[in-house]
Structure 1
Amino acid sequence: MDSFCWLSAWFWGSPTSTDKEETFDPKIHLHYSPPEKKITMQDLLLDQTTDTSSVAGTTAFPLLSREGVRAYRRALFQQNVLDQCASSPFPGTLVLRGAHKQSKFIKNFWTHPETMRIVSEAMGVPLDVIMPTEIGHTNIQVEGATISEMTKKLKVEPAVEKVELSPEERAYDPLKDASAIIPWHYDSYPYVCVLMLSETEGMIGGETYIKKGDGTAQKVEGPRIGHAVMLQGSKVQHLAARARGVKERISTITSYRSSVPTVYDSSYMTNIRPYANLNILYPEWTQYRLRKLRDEITHYLETVEKEPELALDRVVLEKLLTEQTEYLRRTSRQMITPEEHQRMLVAYGSAAYYDAPRIWKIVQSLPEFEKLASGADSDRVWMPQSVYWTDLQSSIEAIRLEKSLTSTMGNLIWDKKRQYYMGDELLRQGLNEVFLDWLGASGLWDIYCKLS
């Protein structure tokens, strides 16, 4: 088998070969062992609700065999995948999204019952892939200034070349350095599996840091080649450290939700909208959300059919209807029209989009903040007929009743002395581009820009 793999790697060295890809076979391509440790919410000093997994994440565990890694890379580097799926947010970084539509191997690997059993077992809860577009999202660090330059560097055989690092680079601390790949954040979806497709020996960085309940950070070592880690990313705040010292770093990610009815689905599309094809994303989002709604209603109906007296429990029924109404509202609010999304993104920039929570903290310290924010809301200078004003009033009423609000940062308990503004409401919902638009209408954006 080793000789075959060596010859195969030589023959498949170019990603442009048109030969037929392999068929996924778990007996050949998987090499699974359970994670040595599961990190619990309790370990991290974080609260766990009854409708989430007690597992916050896992240490790295073997998932793909040596043959599996090369078969996955071979499928990933097919010319049709690169042509249809590649984009580059900046030099040295390549993103492949939607590869499952071009490659049966990638789709079958992530959706195979054995793979689904493994990821579900790792998180201690039955999982479903969140939606097709989130299968195998792949991030590639490789040298090159253009997509063409970067794709030419991709080979089926994992690169083993190292990059010489200076003492300063070796001393890199992602908790103090602003160059983390992804700064402190929560994921858009409840659960995620990160699979490594590159050699990591000699690599500096590449770890995940999780923020504990006491404010300290716990490091989770990055996976080696063929290994994976699982994370309940919507419930734990984390950052990804930049990898240094290697010629390539290829990781592929699939996101999940619990398949159990009554288990809260905390999904948002905040992190996804700026780079996704919204005409593909929105239909998939709608279908998965309606399936979840269907499952909740079916579960309730099956319960009361077995125990008819439960249908008289108005508290349970009211809870179901309230939760599903809110679920549908959030489903709709996340789908900002592509035209409006693009207009706002062009006006304020993708950097400001991802930096929106920090920008909000800064503008709150401005002397003019209360006057401008309050005036913008009382006079409705921004989108006066928008449904967001109804959302704002509902949240203000919930705060008055001392209820918590769901948000992209977990449950929100309003403990600030000031008024709750539209800016708070839009960020709570993860509508960063809409928040920036409101900020611009209020006059706070212009003042913030003068500070920069």
Structure 2
Amino acid sequence: MSPLRLLGRWTGFSGQDSVKEEEFNPRVHLNYVPPQKKITMQDLLLNQRSTASPIAGTTPFPLLSPKGVRAYRKALFQQDVLDKCASSPFPGTLVLRDAVKLSKFIRDFWTHPETMRIVSEASGVPLEVVMPTEIGHTNIQVEGTTIPEMTRNLRVEPLVEKVELSPEDRAYDPLTDKSSIIPWHYDSYPYVCVLMLSETHGMVGGETYIRKGDGEAQKVEGPQIGYAVMLQGGEVEHLAARAKGVKERISTITSYRSKRPNVYDSSYITNVRPYADLDSLYPEWAQYRLRKLRDETTHYLNKVEKGSGSAFQREELESIINQQIDYLQRTARQMVPPKYQEQIQEKYGKAAYYDAFRIWETVQSLPEFERLASSTDQNRRWMPESVYWMDLQQSIERIRMGKPPDSTSRNHPWPNSRKYYMGDELLGQGLNEVFLDWLESSGLWDLYCKR
């Protein structure tokens, strides 16, 4: 018997049988009211890329009814979901991932045509879920230091008990405090819907801040219980403030991409690899990327067939082919071998993985930086037969031609004030674990640790 089941006996926590989920019914569980405001890229003084929606995000809007909130919490707190989907990156935080594969309610809610219509309408573009593993990723702030302790404090009925705020809590400023849940970043996927499943009255923090084109931060109020916000997180840099003053904070997130053809799909899985089951993630990733490729090819073929007899557009076809080649290469590069990923994570830890950009910035200030980085790249002392060397040469050639190097990760723009190194290439591709491996081979990791 699992520790969580034993825990249920000791505390009276509802087990799987007594927290049986309901059947999703949009007439009962939805309570949609359109957002009062849609924040545009223009509002934020940001340039809109041709492949992006003009809508950067929305203010919070009602999505689930009170019955819908409780039904969703019931589905989350099934014992099977807690046993198989719970992990804890650090004390006080519980993550439930892949619950959609065990809960019919969660799957039916997020994939129902009415829900899909709502999120598409709010975003100003027809959307589809990226892949099953990105449905209903749930983050829980709750008291406790271990998974059983945190699980013991979960109830189907939302907690209303408050935590007394200290003067420091009331003065909390996520823009200067380093304790934000997630610092400034771009999302791994183009669009996200964030749904709140907890009471927020009396809560301090919990908002999202968006970086405007002039460098200023614009606050978007966090959603109330049953409310959601849409964000084009792959296009706008944003920060998630930590919530204070409440016993629990449960938010659930689903990621999307545009259904429109000829729209660039900026998705990558750098942020997901360290905690995902790669044996499950990679097949889903490959299938969704291949479906995108199929849809693009079919769209172009239909266009050509309908226009039969017109002049053949060789340049257009060549451009489409090159785009798909690049798309397939990015797809393959993101699937870092599981054993290699595991070895790197054990050696350097998750903290170094997620801190790779700051580590790179720090390393560049070391006296030996240019000599060691140049020597490693020129002599190919690291992985001499790797395909990454070909990627590096292609990027260097783009720079020579006056074009910026391609970058999967918007989090790592090349400064264009020095030589372009393999470290830039690997971080630009979102290959943080491979970057750490290269960094050690160059001797820069040891210098970083000894600085």
TM-score interval (norm. to shorter): over 0.9
Over residues 296-323 of structure 1, what are the superposed CA-to-partner deviations in whole Å (9 max), with x where a residue is unaligned?
0000000010113566211111110111
Secondary structure in 1 matching 2:206: coil
How far residue 20 of structure 1 moved from its aligned partner, in angstroms, is: 3.6
Distance in 2 of aligned mates of 1:410 and 1:85: 29
Name the SS of the counterpart of 2:87 in structure 1. strand
C-alpha spacing 1:295/1:52, structure 2 compared with 1 (3 Å): same
Deviates more, 1:19-28 or 1:238-247: 19-28
SS in 2 for 1:308: coil
The percent identity for this pair of structures is 71
Secondary structure of the 2:251 match is strand
Aligned to 2:101: 101
Residue 243 of structure 1 corresponds to which residue in structure 2? 243
Q: What SS does the corresponding residue of 1:201 show, helix, strand or coil?
A: coil
Corresponding residue of 1:6? none
Q: Alpha-carbon deviations, 1:15-64, whole Å to 9, x = none?
A: 54446421000000000001111111111111111111111111100000
What is the CA-CA distance between 1:408 and the residue it aligns to? 3.8
Most deviating of 264-273 and 13-22: 13-22
> Are 2:391 and 1:391 equivalent residues in the alignment?
yes
| Offset at residue 169 of structure 1 (A) | 1.4
Partner Cα distance (1:79, 1:413) in 2: 44
Gaps of 5+ in 1: 1-11
Contact 1:404 1:413 in 2 (8 A): no
2:348 maps to 348
Aligned to 1:5: none
Equivalent residues of 1:181, 1:241 under 8 A apart: yes
Taking the aligned partners of 2:411 and 2:223, their CA distance within structure 1 comes to: 30
Judge conservation of contact 1:64–1:226 (CA < 8 Å) in 2: yes
Number of aligned residues: 440
| SS, match of residue 254 in structure 1 | strand
Runs of 5+ consecutive residues of structure 2 not aligned to the other structure? 1-11
Tell me the residue number matched to 1:427: 427
Shift of 1:388: 0.4
TM-score, normalised by the number of residues in structure 2: 0.95
Structure 1 segments of 4 or more deviating over 3 A? 15-20, 408-415
Asked if the contact 2:186/2:411 (under 8 Å) is kept, the reply is no
Measure how far apart 1:384 and its partner are: 0.6
8 Å Cα contact 1:61/1:223 also seen in 2:
yes
What's 2:67 paired with?
67
Q: Deviations over 1:317-350 (max 9, x none)?
A: 1110111000000000000010000111111111
Q: 1:19 to 1:425 in 2, by over 3 A?
A: closer
Say yes or no: does 1:448 pair with 2:448.
yes
Residue 202 (structure 1) aligned with residue 221 (structure 2): no
1:364 to 1:34, Cα distance in 2 relative to 1, 3 A: same
**Partner Cα distance (1:353, 1:51) in 2:** 30
Indicate the residue corresponding to 2:294 in structure 1. Answer: 294
SS at match of 1:312: coil
**1:332 aligned partner, one-letter code:** A
CA–CA distance in structure 1, aligned partners of residues 49 and 275 of structure 2 = 32
Greater shift, 440-449 or 304-313, is seen at: 304-313
Which amino acid is 2:342 matched to?
Q
Question: Which whole-Å CA distance do the structure 2 matches of 1:379 and 1:46 have between them?
Answer: 41
Partner amino acid, structure 1, of 2:132: P
In the alignment, structure 1 residue 23 sits paired with structure 2 residue 37: no
- 1:277 is matched with 277
Determine helix, strand or coil for the equivalent of 2:149.
helix
Give 1:89's aligned amino acid.
P
Alignment-mate amino acid for residue 440 of structure 1: E
In the other structure, the counterpart of 1:43 is: 43
Aligned to 2:360: 360
Rounded Cα–Cα distance in structure 1 between residues aligned with 2:15 and 2:370: 57
Return the alpha-carbon distance in structure 2 between the equivalents of residues 422 and 338 of structure 1.
Answer: 22
Distance 2:79 2:402 in 1: 56
Is 1:147 aligned with 2:159?
Answer: no
Match of 1:228 in 2: 228
Partner residue in 2 for 1:8: none
Label 1:414 to 1:35 Cα distance change in 2 as closer, same or farther (>3 A).
Answer: same
1:315-326 alignment runs, 5 A limit? 315-326=315-326
Whether the aligned pair in 2 keeps the contact of 1:202 and 1:246 (CA below 8 Å) is yes
Q: CA deviation at 1:363?
A: 0.8
CA contact (8 A) 1:304 1:311 kept: no
**Deviation of the 1:417 alpha carbon:** 3.0
3-state SS in 1 of match to 2:192: strand
What amino acid does structure 2 have at the position aligned with 1:436? L
CA contact 1:15–1:154 (8 Å) conserved in 2? no
